[in-house]
Amino acid sequence: MEPTGDRRPVCNELNLTANGHDDNLLVETEARIRGMTVDCTTIDFRCCRLDDEAMELLCQALVNNKSITTLDLRSNQIGETGAQHLARGLHESTIHKLLLGHNRLGDKGLKHLAGFLASSITLEVLDLSDNDIGEIGMRLLPSLSYKGHCAALDLTGNHIGVAGIRFLGDSGISRSLRILALGNNSIGDDGIISIGSFLWRSELWLLDVQSNGITGKGAFEFTRCLTGNRSLLRLSLKHNCIQDEGAREITRAIEHRQTPLYIDIIESASTEQTVVEDQPEHNEVTNEQAYSRLQNESNKENMEKLRRALLGGSPLTGVFDRRDFPWS
């Protein structure tokens, strides 16, 4: 706890991870968040089995709260009604980072949050992974672009499909994003090609499309769109169907790109030797020459360049120090 002169003390983080759903604990937490004791900047309620009823009590404390900048509610049981309570609690908040991964929001829950997402001018990091969001929910994404500057969006593990990708491209959010996670969404070749059609006008630094059934053909068509793009520094294609010839085609597509691009194509493979020895099944790139050439084009100096770009107090700082994303 830090002294703040004449003001109330500031508790940087209230961490109640894995404490379970306890009404007495929630009542006490509500009182603390309301400012009766301290101001908190980070609230961590991961893995607490919070359901819609618990969210009603918790979110009463969030109304008009201006001190909380990070709210972590990952891995709970928050559904449509809980999302409605959350939207009311966050109505006039100054949240920078909202982490809702591994809940039960669905398209209807996201609809309740659309008003907050449209009005927030502070939200920079949004985690909606594993929330059963589909094409209908993706139609709501344009609301993020009205006033906000959302820089990192995680939609991993939903079922947005090709149609959802197209809605994403039509929304203005694609222009403000720096990090976009779309792994395990069944977008296939058509989806990755659709991303390429709007990537030229974006300033993405990192794109994750792992586990999407993308073949070498789709990856080649996508990387061919990157010729005029100078912002993308890292592309994750792990757990797809690229194969050796696909790796060679990707290399040909980016060899004249002005900015080097680091591509993750094989799970846990850091050298060509491990690729040959392990013979990974996910992308089936087992040819040492194909992988080595791709890695030569994928200049690892980009990692340092990206770290430098993330310095300066951004919520995205340390993105690669904690695997791929700031909420990992």
The DSSP code sequence of 253-290 is HHTT-SS--EEE-STT--SHHHHHHH--TTT----HHH
The pLDDT of residue 173 is above 90: no
Instruction: Give residue-wise pLDDT tens across range 208-265.
Output: 999 999 998 998 899 888 877 888 888 888 889 888 888 888 887 777 777 777 788 7
What pLDDT score was predicted for residue 318?
44
On whether residue 156 sits in a domain, the answer given is yes
| Lowest mean pLDDT across 51-65, 179-193, 237-251, 271-285 | 271-285
Give the residue-averaged pLDDT of 273-290.
51
Q: How far apart are CA 146 and CA 19, in angstroms?
A: 37
Q: What is the pTM of this model?
A: 0.82
On whether residue 236 sits in a domain, the answer given is yes
Q: Residue 113 — φ and ψ, nearest 5°? A: -85, -10
Q: How far apart are CA 86 and CA 63, in angstroms?
A: 9
For residue 274, what are its two tokens?
Answer: 């491990």
Instruction: Give residue-wise pLDDT tens across range 128-156.
Output: 999 999 999 998 876 665 556 788 999 99
In angstroms, how far is the first alpha carbon of the chain from the final one?
25
The pLDDT of residue 284 is above 70: no
Q: Residue 239 — φ and ψ, nearest 5°? A: 60, 40
Give the residue-averaged pLDDT of 66-84.
93
Task: Out of 66-70, 211-215, 283-287, give the one with best mean pLDDT.
Answer: 211-215
What pLDDT score was predicted for residue 28?
56
With tokens 């002005």, the residue in question is: 258
What pLDDT score was predicted for residue 60?
83
The pLDDT of residue 305 is above 80: no
> What length does the chain have?
328
Q: Are 211 and 238 in contact (CB under 8 A)?
A: yes
Q: How far apart are CA 148 and CA 175, in angstroms?
A: 11
What pLDDT score was predicted for residue 271?
39
For residue 185, what are its two tokens?
Answer: 């969404």
**How many domains does the chain divide into?**
1
The pLDDT of residue 196 is above 50: yes
What pLDDT score was predicted for residue 218?
93
List the alpha helices (DSSP H) in 61-100.
Answer: 80-89
What pLDDT score was predicted for residue 180?
92
What pLDDT score was predicted for residue 113?
93
The pLDDT of residue 321 is above 60: no
- 3-state SS, one letter per residue, for 193-210: HHHHHHHCCCCCCEEECC
CA neighbours closer than 13 Å in the CB half-sphere of residue 230 = 1
What pLDDT score was predicted for residue 99?
95
Residue 209 sits in which domain range? 2-309
The pLDDT of residue 38 is above 60: no
Q: How far apart are CA 245 and CA 270, in angstroms?
A: 20
What pLDDT score was predicted for residue 167?
87
What pLDDT score was predicted for residue 306?
56
Q: Are 45 and 72 in contact (CB under 8 A)?
A: yes
**Cα 116 to chain centroid, rounded:** 18
What pLDDT score was predicted for residue 289?
62
What pLDDT score was predicted for residue 150?
84
Burial of 110 (0-12, 13-18, 19+ CB in 10 A): buried
What pLDDT score was predicted for residue 207?
92
Q: How far apart are CA 272 and CA 34, in angstroms?
A: 55
Give the residue-averaged pLDDT of 53-79.
88
With tokens 């829950």, the residue in question is: 109
Q: Is 241 helix (H, G, I), strand (E, B) or coil?
A: strand
On whether residue 322 sits in a domain, the answer given is no
On whether residue 256 sits in a domain, the answer given is yes
Give the residue-averaged pLDDT of 70-86.
95
For residue 256, what are its two tokens?
Answer: 């004249």
Q: Which of 321, 41, 315, 302 is nearest to 179 (CA)?
A: 315
On whether residue 321 sits in a domain, the answer given is no
Average confidence score pLDDT of the chain: 77
Q: Is 328 helix (H, G, I), strand (E, B) or coil?
A: coil
What pLDDT score was predicted for residue 308?
57
- The CATH number given to whatever domain includes residue 48 is 3.80.10.10
